[in-house]
Structure 1
Amino acid sequence: MSLDPADLADELRLDIVSYEYTPRYNVPPGASVPIVVERLDDEGQLTRRLETASWGLVPGWAKDVKIGFKAFNARSETVLEKPMFRQAIRRRRCAVPVAGYYEWENIEDGKQPWLMSSAGRDHLFMAGVFEFWRQPDQSWLVSTSILTAPAEGHLQELHHRMPVFLGKENIGDWIDPTVTTNAVPALLEETLSLVDPAAVTRHKVDQSVGNVRNDSPELAAPVA
């Protein structure tokens, strides 16, 4: 989260920006992340918003917010059926803009971290789902999870899974709240078919990124 996604306001046609940007280079589950959503305002008008969400989905029926720490990713193969995600995927989809993400490659003497970023623009966009959960103080917690799929292309060399990437031109279709219920499986299938791993570039980074207490620009710098 090293780039302010509010800079995309014109490009993404955002009507409201309420996400408060704080640069971070090592973002763990439970941290605040930006999500792009479309919701009806008080006058019934559809608005596109950049909101803040906790990374790790907490469904409305959850008894404890800690459930979100195990739900930061949603497998695209099962997201339509899993009780944790099946309501969100049908009615509350979002895009998660990030400067990049880390993945760990298994090597002979441990694990080598890599930073994946966009090959042609500043941000990557990931398909996500979001939920509302009533907190003990009666305020609402917004939480999100990122969809994953079997890795393709060069990303297979690092890990067997990858995020479901969205092209900028596909964001509107994915977050459209009028697409619900029976139309969602076809939307998911089409979104998966458009994922392009070649739009992602990568470089090795220092192993200090493995400690979440480390958070500095040096974590994203290439290493030999």
Structure 2
Amino acid sequence: MCGRLNMSLDPADLADELRLDVVSYDYTPRYNVPPGSFVPIVVERLDEDGQLNRRLETASWGLVPAWAKDTKIGFKAFNARSETVLEKPMFRQAIKRRRCALPIPGYYEWEVTDDGKQPWMMTSAGDDPLFMAGLFEFWKQPDQSWLVSTTIMTMESAGHLQDVHHRMPVFLSRAHIDEWIDPATVSSEVPALLDSVLGQVDPAGVDRHKVGKEIGNVRNDRPELARPVA
């Protein structure tokens, strides 16, 4: 699973590299981000003139489908299992029409040890952040405005990440971001697209280091939480 994020870098710094047309994400550095928080997503949507724009938007982490009675359902849907995402009522419409990428500097995972749970921070092994495959949805709020929400896709862990947890995010290479978020992909092509994206995930592109157990309390939010510990 992926249930805690580090948002210490401004994804708008990637505007040129990601060919962003619009940046609507209001960045605030955070070091211990739980579900229910606002996170950045990269999407492609038509504007009022019918032009396709690539946008960096703000989304609530935890998917709220259009048919939901309230937003509480999102706290159960911050991850979407890639093995069942095509069939689950919660996600099957979003994966057909509303796919996104999340540029995330790092995330935390907990390893079960004889001495209790040891938290790790996972970061990119390169210069870029980690790009995670996600889905997004729109939900009409009581004031008639729209809530944008998102979920992070997960899969069985591979490589060295298996040593920490049995699940990991579905990471996107730069080359696969365009393909994943393209809204022109028709529904019948989505299963093949999903297989292609899962096949390119490379856990060797992820570095990790142990961090202190203070990360377990969501009220703790400071840069020191991400520092390596012995």
The bucket for the TM-score relative to the shorter chain is over 0.9
Match of 1:145 in 2: 151
Runs of 4+ more than 4 Å apart:
none
In the alignment, the residues of structure 2 paired with residue 108 and residue 214 of structure 1 have an alpha-carbon distance, to the nearest angstrom, of 25
Tell me how far 1:122 sits from its aligned partner: 3.4
Match of 1:20 in 2: 26
Match of 1:98 in 2: 104
Q: Per-residue CA shift, 1:105-161, capped at 9, x if unaligned?
A: 001121000000000123000000000000011000000000000000000000110
Residue 215 of structure 1 is aligned with which of 181, 201, 221? Answer: 221
In the alignment, the residues of structure 1 paired with residue 128 and residue 98 of structure 2 have an alpha-carbon distance, to the nearest angstrom, of 25
Match of 2:192 in 1: 186
Q: What count of residue pairs does the alignment treat as equivalent? A: 224
TM-score when normalising by structure 2? 0.97
Q: Does 1:31 align with 2:31?
A: no
In the alignment, the residues of structure 1 paired with residue 26 and residue 36 of structure 2 have an alpha-carbon distance, to the nearest angstrom, of 16
Match of 2:4 in 1: none
TM-score when normalising by structure 1? 0.99
Unaligned runs of 5+ in 1: none
> Alpha carbon RMSD of aligned pairs, Å?
0.5
Match of 2:77 in 1: 71
In the alignment, the residues of structure 1 paired with residue 228 and residue 18 of structure 2 have an alpha-carbon distance, to the nearest angstrom, of 30
In the alignment, the residues of structure 2 paired with residue 196 and residue 107 of structure 1 have an alpha-carbon distance, to the nearest angstrom, of 25
In the alignment, the residues of structure 2 paired with residue 26 and residue 196 of structure 1 have an alpha-carbon distance, to the nearest angstrom, of 25
In the alignment, the residues of structure 2 paired with residue 117 and residue 169 of structure 1 have an alpha-carbon distance, to the nearest angstrom, of 19
Aligned letter for 1:11? E
What SS does the corresponding residue of 2:30 show, helix, strand or coil? coil
Q: Does 1:158 align with 2:156?
A: no
Tell me how far 1:181 sits from its aligned partner: 0.8
Match of 1:136 in 2: 142
Aligned letter for 1:195? V
Tell me how far 1:180 sits from its aligned partner: 2.6
Identity in percent: 75
Match of 1:49 in 2: 55
